[in-house]
Copies of this chain bind each other. A is one copy, B any other.
Amino acid sequence: MIKTELLKQKILELGKVVGNDTVRVDMFLNHRIDADLVTKLGGEFYRIFSSSPINKIVTVEASGVAVAFAAAQRFSVPVVFAKKGLNKNVGDDVYKARVYSFTKQSEVIIGVAKDYLDENDRVLIIDDFLASGSAAKGLIDIINQAGARLEGVGVVIEKAFQSGGDELRALGYRVESLAVIKSIDGGKIVFG
């Protein structure tokens, strides 16, 4: 796919390798958002998942929001983003899950208000990264609590040298990644 080639090119050009397991894509995805590119990525998720009866997109704040929104525009469905840490305005009526943040190296609680997810929802999870799969598993836990059905998981960048993607596929979920990083060795990114 041309769009995923464009994504890989951006990762190679602008990604910053840190150690042997981290690629920072703050330049176009995570902090500074390339609106044109992310719009295209949203379209790519639509192409991949458009045959599924998706009526809601779910992600986690904050770095997943833009790409999830770009996909939601194409599906014409709402996005619900799980919040990290609950504030007084969300209320107590919240589905919660524990998630280990790879970047922050600590556990956080994510939550979705019960009003915004229910048994009628056919959900596509969209996120920027899939590594250990902790965020995706937390979202799946929340989707299950709501009685909703998960139609698939779409991620921009999968780190295939971590086990999250394999574990989710082994559980029977459809996981589609726009770019798969097989390894980061000596500062060099190898795509799968």
- List the interface of chain A (C-beta within 8 A of B): 18, 22, 24, 26-28, 31-36, 38-39, 61-62, 65-66, 69-70, 72-73, 75-81, 83, 87-90, 101, 103-105, 112-113, 115-116
Which among B18, B62, B70, B76 is the interface contact of A36 at CB below 8 angstroms?
Answer: B76
Q: Is the CB of A88 within 8 A of B116?
A: no
Q: What does DSSP make chain A's interface, helix, strand, loop or mixed?
A: mixed
List the 7 closest pairs (A to B, CB-CB), nearest first: A61-B62, A62-B62, A35-B72, A32-B116, A65-B65, A33-B79, A66-B69
**Known contacts A69-B66, A73-B39, A105-B88, A113 near B26 by CB under 8 Å:** yes
Question: B88 to A33, Cβ gap below 8 A?
Answer: no
A-B contacts, 28 of them at CB < 8 A, read A26-B115, A26-B116, A27-B116, A31-B113, A31-B116, A32-B79, A32-B113, A32-B115, A33-B78, A33-B80, A33-B81, A35-B72, A35-B73, A35-B75, A35-B76, A35-B77, A35-B79, A36-B76, A61-B61, A62-B62, A62-B65, A65-B66, A65-B69, A66-B66, A66-B69, A69-B69, A69-B70, A88-B104
